[in-house]
Structure 1
Amino acid sequence: MSVNSRNIKHSASVIFFHGSGDTGPNVLEWVRFLLGRNMEFSHIKVIYPTAPLQKYTPLNGELSTVWFDRRSVNIAAQETKKSMSQCYEIVHQLIQEEVAQGIPLNRIIVGGFSMGGALALHTGYHLNTGLAGVFAHSSFLNRQSVVYESLETRPPNSVQLPELRMFHGERDTLVPIEWGQESFESLQKLGVTGTFKPLKNTLHELKKSSLIEIEQWILEKLPPLESDVQNKL
C-alpha cells in the first residue's frame, strides 16, 4: 500500500483503487506523471492500495493483481459473488484502519480507475453508503449488480448516499462509454446524485483534466476542518 501526505496528521482520507493488473504504486506514479506532481492535500491522506494476486478468468485463469474475478469483461456478465465477498473484506479493513485513526465515514472518499472504479461503486453504494463521495474513471457495473439490489432495498430513513463523479473516454474500446453511461443512469434512477462526464479523444486511460476535476471535487467534499488550520499555525 502506498500513502502520500504532507504530514501524518490528517482529518480526511481518499482511497484510490487501481485497475486490473496494476498496483497501487503504479497508479500513484501514473497520477504523478499526468499532474506533474502528487495528488496531495495538506489535510487529506491519499491511499493507493494494491489488489491481491489471484486467478483472473478473462486472462484464461492466469494470476493477476485484481480486486475480484470476472466471468468476462462485459456489462451483461454475472458478478462472481464469492470473489466479490473476499474483496469486500479488504475494503472493510482499509476503511476501518482510517476510522480507527479518528476519520469518520463522512470524511472518506473512495474512487478508482476501471475495475478500481467498479470497486469504488460497490464500496459506496453497497458496503458503506455513509461515505463522503465516490469517483469512477472508465468504469461500469454489471447489469444485475448487487449494488442495484442494495439501493432498491434501502430503508427509507437511511443515511444520505455519497455523491458520484464518473468520467469516461469517448474512444474507450476496452470499456465502451455506453456501459459507463448506462451504469450511471441506473444508479441515478435509484437515488444516486452526481455527474457523468464524457472525455473527448480519450481511450481507456486517466487524463490530466479529469484528475484536476477530481482533486477540486475532493476539496469541495472534504474541506479543511478548524483543527487543520490550527495545526498549520
Structure 2
Amino acid sequence: MINSWKQLQLCAVSPTGKHSASVIFLHGSGDTGQGLRAWVRDVMTPDLAFGHIRVIYPTAPARPYTPMRGSLSTVWFDRNKISRDCPEHLESIDAMCSTLGSVIQDEVNIGIPKHRIIIGGFSMGGAMALHLACRHHPDVAGVFALSSFLNKDSLAFQVNHSRLPLPELFQCHGTNDDLVLHQWGEDTSMLLRKAGMTTTFHSFPGLYHQLSQPEMELLRSWILKKLSPTTPS
C-alpha cells in the first residue's frame, strides 16, 4: 500500500489507436511530469506520441533534498551530495521504487504486459529508472537514461541476474554536460555492461544538460523498435 504523501500526480499522452504498450518517462530533479511533457513537446517534431503507446509522465512528491540544504524539491530520491563517490541514499530510492512499481502495476492491471513497458528518464529520472529496471523490474522491455549516471558502488551494478537477463539500456549524454558528468554517464554504461546488460551509449557533441531533437528522435526510433505494434503481447 502506498502512503498518501507518496501518491504521484500523472500526466499522460494517450495513443491515437489501440493501447498495447506503455512508456514511463521520469523527470529530472526539481521538475514535474507536466514540465517534462512540455519540454519534450517543445524539442520534438513531431511530438513523442504514438498510435499504440501510452506515454506517462509522473511527478515526484516534494521532499527535503540534502544538496539544497533540506529545502523541499520534487526529486525521486535524496542524495548526500551530487557525486558518484557517495553512498546511495537507499532508503529514499527503495521507497520510490515501491511507489513507481505501482505505476507499472497499474499498466499491467489494464492489460499491458511488462515486456511491453519501457521505463526511462532524464538526469535523476534516468538514475531512478535504472534502479527500477535493474533491481526490481528486469522483465520490462527496456530502459533509457538521458544525461544520467549512477554512483560508482550502486546496487544496480551488483544484482545477480543469472536467471533473468537485464533489459536493454539506451543511454544518451551531451559532451558539454560538464566533462565529469559525461564521463560518469559513460562509466555507468560500462559497469552495467559488465553486470550483463546490453547497453548503447550515444554522445551528442555540443549538447549541455538538456534534451535535444536529434536525441529524442533517436529515442523515439528505439522505443518503436522495442515496442513494435506487431510485437506479440
Please, what TM-score do these two structures have when normalized by structure 1?
0.92
CA distance in 2, matches of 1:175, 1:82: 26
- Name 1:160's counterpart in structure 2: 165
* Cα distance in 1 between the residues matched to 2:103 and 2:170: 21
Where does residue 117 of structure 1 map in the other structure? Answer: 126
Runs of 5+ unmatched residues, structure 2? 1-9
Instruction: Verify the 8 A CA contact 1:172 1:203 in the aligned structure 2.
Output: yes
**Deviates further, 14-23 or 73-82:** 73-82
Q: How many residues align?
A: 224
- 1:142 has 2:151 as partner: yes
Q: Which runs of 4+ in 1 moved over 4 A?
A: none
Under a length normalisation based on structure 2, what TM-score does the superposition of the two structures give?
A: 0.92
Q: For residues 81 and 174 of structure 1, what CA distance do their matches in structure 2 show?
A: 27
Partner of 1:180: 185
1:4 and 2:13 matched: yes
Counterpart of 1:231 in structure 2 is none
Q: Among residues 202, 206, 214, which one is paired with 1:201 in the alignment? A: 206
CA distance in 2, matches of 1:20, 1:199: 21
Which residue in the other structure is 2:24 paired with?
A: 15
Q: Are 2:56 and 1:51 equivalent residues in the alignment?
A: no
Partner secondary structure for residue 76 of structure 1: coil
Change in CA separation of 1:207 and 1:100 when aligned onto 2, cut-off 3 Å: same
**Aligned CA-pair RMSD:** 1.7
Kindly indicate whether residue 35 of structure 2 is the aligned counterpart of residue 30 of structure 1: no
Percent identical: 45
Q: Contact conserved, 2:23 with 2:119, CA < 8 A, in 1?
A: yes
Matches of 2:189 and 2:37 in 1, distance apart? Answer: 26
In structure 2, what is the Cα distance between the partners aligned to 1:168 and 1:226? Answer: 29
Instruction: Give yes or no for the alignment of 1:106 onto 2:115.
Output: yes
Q: Which amino acid aligns with 1:184?
A: S
Instruction: Give the CA deviation at 1:37.
Output: 4.0
Cα shift at 1:194: 2.1
Counterpart for residue 96 of structure 1: 105
